[in-house]
Structure 1
Amino acid sequence: MKIQSLVLAFVFSILTTALSAQTFDGGIATYQSKTSFDMEGFGGREISEQQKKQFAERIKSRLEKTFTLTFTKDESIYEEVEKLETPGAGGGGMRFGGGFSQGGVYKNVAENVYARENDLMGKNFLVKDTLSKLDWKLEKESKMIGQYAAFKATAIRKTDPNPWEAMRPRRGGREEEEKTQEPTEELITAWYTPQIPVSQGPDEFWGLPGLVLEVTAGRTVILCNKIVINPKEGIEIDVPKKGDKVSRLEYEKIVAEKTKEMAERFGNGRRNGPGGRG
């Protein structure tokens, strides 16, 4: 372990010197995000193993995504890379009303500003607030990620109930429903590199003494696989500006209300549809 640390320290010193020798304007980092899905509790006995397998294949593309983080010392924008749909794969997602989509995550660490453009059922919202900061604990572990010496950091984050859980049928009655509405905690594990001395990272993760290259949060793993420092095309960060301005809390309340409306509408449709009680 000591030998590994010494090697990393040596590599870190060389590469940090090389980076500091050139003018740093910013960079573009590419990340792969993968989220696992709990198929064990999905559908219960009503869905066969074959149907579960087919469903897992259909949602795979939605759980594995590519993002780019365009960053400077103070600002960054984290955006999904659009990809072409596989022929015949359309229509697999759930759409209600005008649909739901999220824009890129904008962070300004110098001014403590968070912003994001979201489309909720055809209405545009500009979610603008202060940055959410985690209480990071710097650990002793280190490893190489590509050509960068990375160091471990951990934090505990409170997670609010997922509003889309309201759409899932309940079998355990009111007690189970109330349990799913309780806030929980999850361990966040990040790996950052001081070789790129910016307090930036993917999604909403930031606040470490170096660019965050890897994050594990719940069922999601985000891993950087490419970094271009001072790209020839330059750095362009568009600050989100469109939509009705709301805070995080206000937007979460709107989403919860809309989700509840859809759940009630969906439930009524099932009861009044074919085979229902009307």
Structure 2
Amino acid sequence: MKQLFIVLFAIVTIATSAQKNFQGKATYMSKATIDMSSWGDRFNKMSEAQKKQMAVRMKSFLEKTFILTFDKTSSIYKEDEKLATPTAGRGRGWRGMSGGGIKYKNIKDLVALESIEFFGKKFLISDDMKRPEWELGSETKKIGEYICYKATLVRDVDPTDWTNMRRRGRNNDDKKKDKAKKDTSNVVKISDEIEMPKQITVTAWYTPQIPVSNGPAEYWGLPGLILELNSGRTTVLCTEIVMNPENKVNIEAPTKGTEVTRDEYNKIITKKMEEMREMFRNRRGRRRGRN
């Protein structure tokens, strides 16, 4: 009896230790597109060579690699430092789900923090971590060696995510124009030329084969790790998974930066965007005056 107790105690101890030391590492490729027509005449007047040059410059902002380090209850999501461009730390606040900095989630304690630098100032952003209202589907597909299930979620658009911005009334079809004018319930006017939707549908593909309720960026809440995500004009795809890597990473909440809520941070970004837009208008006005 004593020997049986010792064996059972050893099994429980080993299982507890294995769960405590469990860690995974997932690599994600993030790719976003933007509606260049929202640039209006400035883009249309560019030559084909200038447009190609612009596309090359934008690529470093629109295509990135991220690493999600996770255990059973917490995770850290950040850009792959090996592949980050020298200017990757600037202007990241414009990127929304694909932004830089460090995103920390603890699904047990419902803590979500993001450490980010914007225009030389560091912020520590706290988010309300409410369980996402995913709609689970029966559709499946295989990503690598994992069977994944489809789930969808309707969410509010991040007002600082400029990839979702589009030119107002850009369609030349008069009937569609009239319909678009009537249906403004899901549109936010940014300026006389630019708008963005209020809400978008997010599609996720998760695998129960990795039973952690986690995923890239701020996404979580499914019965398995999210391997693919489509949100607005951004697609995030997992390209590699390493379970229990040799080199473990300390998954700790970031602490540096001015503490703000997500709403407070968005107001700061919006104000800065308005200032820059006004500065650009003034410069363009002075140039026209000289001509």
TM-score greater than 0.5 by the shorter chain: yes
Taking the aligned partners of 1:37 and 1:178, their CA distance within structure 2 comes to 18
| 1:120 paired residue number | 118
- Aligned residue for 2:180? none
Which residue identity does 1:250 align to in structure 2? E
Report Cα offsets for 1:56-104 as digits up to 9, x if no partner. Answer: 1222232111110000111001010134688xxx88x9x78xx998411
Which deviations, in whole Å up to 9, do the C-alpha atoms of 1:1-39 show, x marking residues without a partner? Answer: xxxxxxxxxxxxxxxxxxx9x934120111111112334
1:51 and 1:271 mapped to 2: Cα distance?
23
| Higher mean C-alpha displacement, 109-118 vs 153-162 | 153-162
Q: So what's the TM-score if we normalise by structure 2?
A: 0.74
TM-superposed deviation, 1:116 = 0.9
Does the 8 Å CA contact 2:66/2:80 hold for their aligned counterparts? Answer: yes
CA distance change for structure 1 residues 85 and 129 in 2, over 3 Å: closer, same or farther?
closer
Partner residue in 2 for 1:4: none
Deviation, 1:124, is 1.4
Q: 1:206: which partner in 2?
A: 220
Q: Partners of 1:153 and 1:171 in 2: how far apart?
A: 32
Q: Give the conservation status (yes or no) of the 8 Å contact 2:43–2:51.
A: no
Q: CA deviation at 1:247?
A: 0.5
Q: State the partner residue of 1:23.
A: 18
2:159 matches 1:146? no
Distance of aligned partners of 1:269 and 1:180 in 2 relative to their CA distance in 1, 3 Å threshold: closer
- Offset of 1:181 from its aligned partner? 5.5
Whether 1:237 and 2:232 are equivalent positions in the alignment is no
User: Which runs of 5 or more residues in structure 2 are unaligned?
Assistant: 1-14, 171-188
String of CA shifts for 1:236-257, please: whole Å, max 9, x gaps.
2131101111110111111111
Q: Are residues 153 and 179 of structure 1, via their aligned partners in 2, closer, same or farther at CA, if it must alter by over 3 Å?
A: farther
Look up the equivalent residue of 2:56 and give its one-letter code: E
Q: RMSD in angstroms over aligned alpha carbons?
A: 3.4
- Matched residues, percent identical? 46
Q: What amino acid maps onto 1:194 in structure 2?
A: P
Specify the alignment match of 1:193 in structure 2.
207
8 Å CA contact retained: 2:37, 2:166: no
Secondary structure of residue in 2 paired with 1:276:
helix
Preserved CA contact (<8 Å) 2:206 2:228: yes
Going from structure 1 to structure 2, the CA distance change for 1:170 and 1:270 (only over 3 Å counts) comes to farther
Unaligned runs of at least 5 residues, structure 1: 1-19
Structure 1 residue 122 displacement after superposition: 1.8
Instruction: Summarize the alignment of residues 1-278 of structure 1 with structure 2, pairs less than 5 Å apart.
Output: 23-24=18-19, 25-42=22-39, 43-83=42-82, 102-162=100-160, 177=191, 180=194, 183-272=197-286, 274-276=287-289
Counting matched residue pairs gives 248
* TM-score between the two structures when normalised by the length of structure 1: 0.77
Counterpart residue type for residue 33 of structure 1: S
